[in-house]
Structures are given as C-alpha cells and as structure tokens.
Amino acid sequence: MILRDDWKQTLPAHMKPSSYATKPTRFTLFLRTFVPWQIVRFLIVNIKMMRMTWLNKHSH
Amino acid sequence: MANVVVLGAGVAGHTAAAFLRKWLGREHQVTVVSPKPDYNWLPSNIWVGLGLRTPQSVLVPLKPVYDRVGIVFKQARAVTLFPEGDAAMPSPHVEIEYTAGDKNQQRELVPYDFLINATGPKLKFDATEGLGPEHFTNSVCTADHAFHAAQAFLRDVEAMKHGEQRRFVVGSGHGTCTCQGASLEYVVNLEAELRRHGVRDKAQVIYLSNEYELGDFGMGGAHIRKGGYITPTSIFTASLFAERGIEWILQAHVEKIEKTQISYITLEGEHRTLDYDFAMLLPPFSGVGLKAINASGEDISAALFAPNGFMRVDADYAAKPYEQWQAADWPKTYQSPAYANIFAAGIAFAPPHAISQPHFTKDGLPIFATAPRTGMPSATIGKIIAESIRDQIAANGHALRTASMAKMGAACVASTGTGLTMGSAAAMTVCPIVPDYQTYPEYGRDLRYTMGEIGLAGHWIKVMLHYLFLYKARLLPGWTLIPE
Ligand SMILES: Cc1cc2nc3c(=O)[nH]c(=O)nc-3n(C[C@H](O)[C@H](O)[C@H](O)COP(=O)(O)OP(=O)(O)OC[C@H]3O[C@@H](n4cnc5c(N)ncnc54)[C@H](O)[C@@H]3O)c2cc1C
C-alpha cells in the first residue's frame, strides 16, 4: 500500500494535534534509559505501588 | 460441608478460588468452572501480539495446579443459574456445559452453597460489522488472538523490509469500548517494534479511539504530579504519541470494517473512512450471557443481570445524570441483591454507570469509553469475596468485607518498548479508580498516590510482574506474599 498522502496532507505538520503536545527533551530521554537513575526510579515506583496495594487492603 | 463454586478462572475467579482453598478446611469443597484449560496472564498478551513471546509463555494450565492444591476443576462453561433449585435438584445449582474431554458438550448440574460469578467479558466482535479475527481485524484479548495478530504483523514487517509501505490502525472497534490501556500499550509497542525491525520509515501508525480525550482510559483521565505541574493524562499520553510519531483520531465510533477500509462516525456526526493494512481493534464487552431461573421455572435473568449482561451487585443502579454520579454509587461487597449467596467479581459485576463523562452524537449514539475493571481491582475484589464467604462459612459474625473502586487504587504498567537496557514502560498509579469529588473536590483523586512516569524502570517492573504473577497463578510456595 502506498501511504496515502490524503491523511498527511489534511493538516500541515505544524497544525497536527501532535504539534501541540509536550515533548521530552534530550535530557529527559537520556534519563529514561540511564541505568543508575532508572535503578533509583525502579525502587521508588515499586515503593509507590506497594503503598497502593497496602492502601487497597486497609482503606475499607 | 460447604460447596463454593467459582465461575471463571481469570484474575478474579482464580484469586478467589485460590484463597478459598487456602482458608477453608478440607471438609469444604471449592470448584472452579471455566471453559478454557488455561489461566491467561492477559497483560503479557501485548508481547505475544507482536511476536515477542509465545502464547504458551502467558498461559498456565489449570488442571495440574488445581489437582495439586485440591480445587475441583470442571472445564466447562456455566449456562444457567438456578438460585432456588428446581425439580431436577431442589438446592441452588448451576447448569454447566463441558467444553472438552470425554464429557464435551454434555450438561451437568453443579450444586453450590456459595457462588462467585467471575466470568469476565463476552468479546462482542459482532457489535461492529467486519470486526474481529474471524473477519478483518486483529485482537489481543486472548493468547490465541494475539498469536494470530503477531503473524499478521510480522507478515507486514516482511513486506516493509521489501520496500512496501503500511498503515497500522490500533484502538477501539466500537463507540462503547473499554480497555483503552491495552490498545495504547499495543500501539506504542508496535511502533517500537517497527523501529527495531528497521522499517519505521515505511509505516504510518494511527491510534483510533472512542475516548473523548487521549489518556481518558475509561476513567475520565487522571491528573499526575510531575515536573512541577499537575498534568492531565491527556497531555502525558499526547506527549508519548508525539514523541513516537503516532497519530490519533478520537471520539470515533467504528461502524463497519471492510478488507482495507474502516468506516467510522465522529461525535460531531461526520461519517469518515480510513484505509488500513493492519488493524488491531478491541471489541466492546458485555456479560457472557448467563441466564437465571427461579423455583417456579420463570426466567429471572433481569433480576440478577443488568441489560448488558453483567451481574447486578450492591451498587446504586438508579439512572441519574453525570453531575449526580457519586463515589457511593459503586459497589462494596459485590453481593447479589437478589440472592445473598451469590457474588460477582472482576469484569462480571455490573458497574452502576460509566466513569468517564458520557458523550452522544446529536442522534443519540454513545461515543465514550465505558468503565474499565483492571487486573488489580479484579483480584482484590476476588479476594474480599473469598474472605466474606470464609467468614460466612465459619459463622463468625463478621460483616461482609468491602473493596470499593471508589476507594481502591490501581497500578498499571503499560509497556512502551522491550529490551533490558533500552526498553521502557509507562508506570501509572491512580487512586481511587473512580474519582471521588466529595473527598477530593478538585481532581477527584488523591494526588499523593496518583503518579505516572515513563522509563526503563517501568519495563523492568513489567517484566518482574509477568514472572511474579505467573508464579502466583501457579500457586507455588509463597504465592500469598505476592500482592494482588
Ligand atoms: C490485552 C489486555 C491487556 C491488559 N493489560 C492489563 C494491564 O496491564 N493491567 C491491568 O490491570 N489490566 C489489564 N487488562 C485488564 C485485565 O486483564 C482484566 O481486568 C482482568 O482480566 C479481569 O479479570 P476477570 O477475572 O474479571 O476476567 P477474565 O480475566 O477475562 O476472566 C474471565 C474468566 O471467565 C471464563 N469464562 C467465560 N465465560 C464463562 C462461562 N460461561 N462460565 C464459566 N467461565 C467463563 C473465562 O474463560 C476466564 O477464565 C488487560 C486486558 C487485556 C485484554
């Protein structure tokens, strides 16, 4: 299939919804796969999720 | 001796049966009725649907597990409930139909003292012409569907490697779909896979959804405290899509699917078409179509089930406008108001209403995401029902246990790409799932417990959960230490 230009041409790139979205900076993208930082995030996110399961057990 | 019968062996039913077996003495019997031989860890179907895992790796055969722990397993589907008994059997029972083995297609009456309906959803592909694996689109709702989706996807990847171009459309196959989290996860993973295969430049990837806004997920979106701002999930999701070059079409009700074309109507009532090469569109859900008959042989299905086939429980089902919806409308004990010994867990219970604000075309056609019941609350509900039944059997006078989705939080880890060092996932927690504007007037949620972030850590958590929950599903030593 040839990519239909109709879709692409309906809106110029700068007017597509995606052009209004926030985009991550290079530094943010770097942090997302920077292993030492991600180890820290792994621990923090796990703690937050465990806190959530604790809350589910005790909030009723 | 008490007989507890659990219909369904998904997250909710399997959790309930496993805890009941652990807590009840051997003089009591726990029976699971489920039409498939396996437990399916559904979140990992996303990976199966892109050829990253085999179907076997997300399935756990139930019979050996249940034989080991002493649960009776009947590979059958429940057909009709007789909550008052009938002439054939005077005590409450359920009629089942075997789906495999020597008794395939034979019917049997299974007596119960307590019944848990955890039959999950019926996948209503027939709601949209041309929808589903038997017609033109793919699905990841079962491991088998996901396997076939992967084959189609990989065929397209091969064609692109030979210079062809492809358009991929992923999302909702109907205006009343739920489970957008799964579609989102699939589309982002699909995009990552196209890059890994080196064919991203040959592909256009479109997310087509009935959601009013991106990041709605059927729970009216959420707000996340992040980077010094309180950010709606619409921005969070749009950012992810923009970064990945995924385009989106929202507020769409898919009306018809042909071999290469999707026809949909927008909330403004505009009829549009979209050509595609590969589509993975989820179906809308309903209850599985159980019937109920009383002692005089009358059909009392309408008393037990809502019109969409899900089971009525202790929710407030009075029809009221969106502005009057309250956290208190949501059920707490999941007990049937008609019969005290019947409960419904997970997707099988009828929500009192949607969570997202309903939207209709000027002709009254609904186009909005319906209420999700994700894995974590489904398992928690299964567990508290098991506790309630345990208490009632022990006659210890304990009130029924409660777990309202307007109090409970949910954690969701949506994979956005795989690989031990280059993978990523969006990890989100939302609390409570159903916004409670009385308690949290501004956002409806407790922002201390509502968070979202994307990164490699999320991918590690997703992989960890895959192995932990499959371990737990096998009921191997220490399984109770793994939270719901
Ligand atoms: C692709 C996909 C990805 C998902 N990812 C996530 C995620 O990342 N996180 C999350 O929290 N949630 C996720 N979900 C949602 C989650 O899987 C559901 O919330 C959960 O499975 C609901 O559990 P359940 O037990 O109610 O239903 P199900 O898991 O659907 O189980 C229903 C059971 O009932 C059986 N059954 C059907 N009919 C009958 C009958 N007539 N008689 C007896 N038994 C019957 C079925 O065979 C099945 O065993 C995902 C869903 C999908 C489809």
Q: Identify the residue with better confidence: A13 or B359.
A: B359
> In the 8-state DSSP scheme, what is residue B409?
-
Go through the domains of chain B in sequence order and give each one's CATH number: 3-122+285-395 (3.50.50.100)
Residue A1 forms part of a structural domain: no
Taking the C-alpha atoms of residue B302 and residue B294, their distance in angstroms, rounded to an integer, is 12
The dihedral over CA atoms of B324, B329, B330, B332, expressed in degrees to the nearest 10, equals 150
- Closest Cα partner for B12 from B265, B286, B374? B374
Is B454 touching A (CB cutoff 8 A)? yes
Residue A40 forms part of a structural domain: yes
Q: Is the CB of B347 within 6 Å of ligand 1?
A: yes
- Closest Cα partner for B385 from B81, B16, B112? B16
The residue range of the domain holding A43 is 35-60
| Cα distance from N-terminal residue to C-terminal residue, chain B | 28
- Closest Cα partner for B6 from B15, B17, B20? B17
Whether the predicted pLDDT of A2 surpasses 50? no
- The reported pTM is 0.94
Rg over alpha carbons for chain A, rounded to the nearest Å, is: 21
Backbone CA torsion sign across B432, B434, B439, B441: positive
- Model pLDDT, residue A59: 65
The C-alpha angle B412, B139, B77, rounded to 5 degrees, equals 90
- Closest Cα partner for B409 from A57, A42, A43? A57
Q: Name residue B198's amino acid.
A: G
This complex has an ipTM of: 0.83
- Model pLDDT, residue B411: 85
The dihedral over CA atoms of B51, B283, B118, B87, expressed in degrees to the nearest 10, equals -130
Enumerate residues 6+ apart whose C-beta is below 8 A from B57. Answer: B44, B48
B97, B290 contact by CB (below 8 A): no
- Model pLDDT, residue A4: 46
Residue A54 forms part of a structural domain: yes
- Model pLDDT, residue A16: 74
Is A9 touching B (CB cutoff 8 A)? no
Instruction: Tell me which residue has tokens 């019997």.
Output: B29
Which mutation among B6, B11, B139 tests ligand 1's pocket best, with the greatest number of atoms within 8 A of CB? B11
At residue A18 the predicted structure's pLDDT band, cuts being 50, 70 and 90, is confident
Taking the C-alpha atoms of residue B407 and residue B307, their distance in angstroms, rounded to an integer, is 26
Residue A50 forms part of a structural domain: yes
Q: Which residues of A touch B204 (CB under 8 A)?
A: 3, 7-8
Residue A58 forms part of a structural domain: yes
At residue A3 the predicted structure's pLDDT band, cuts being 50, 70 and 90, is very low
- Bridge partners of B292? B81
Per-residue pLDDT tens digits of chain B, which is 484 residues long: 999 999 999 999 999 999 999 999 999 999 999 999 999 999 999 999 999 999 999 999 999 999 999 999 999 999 999 999 999 999 999 999 999 999 999 999 999 999 999 999 999 999 999 999 999 999 999 999 999 999 999 999 999 999 999 999 999 999 999 999 999 999 999 999 999 999 999 999 999 999 999 999 999 999 998 888 999 999 999 999 999 999 999 999 999 999 999 999 999 999 999 999 999 999 999 999 999 999 999 999 999 999 999 999 999 999 999 999 999 999 999 999 999 999 999 999 999 999 999 999 999 999 999 999 899 999 999 999 999 999 999 999 899 999 999 999 888 888 888 888 888 898 888 999 999 999 999 999 999 888 888 999 999 999 999 999 999 999 999 999 998 8
CA distance A2 to chain B (A): 6
Number of domains in chain A: 1
Give B357's Cβ-side CA count (13 Å radius): 7
Peptide linkage before B432 cis (omega within 30 of 0): yes
For an interface test with A, give the residue of B460, B463, B484 to mutate (most A CBs within 10 A).
Answer: B460
Query: B370 is written with which tokens?
Result: 């319906």
At residue A60 the predicted structure's pLDDT band, cuts being 50, 70 and 90, is low
Q: For residue B463, give the 3-state DSSP assignment.
A: helix
B53, B13 contact by CB (below 8 A): no
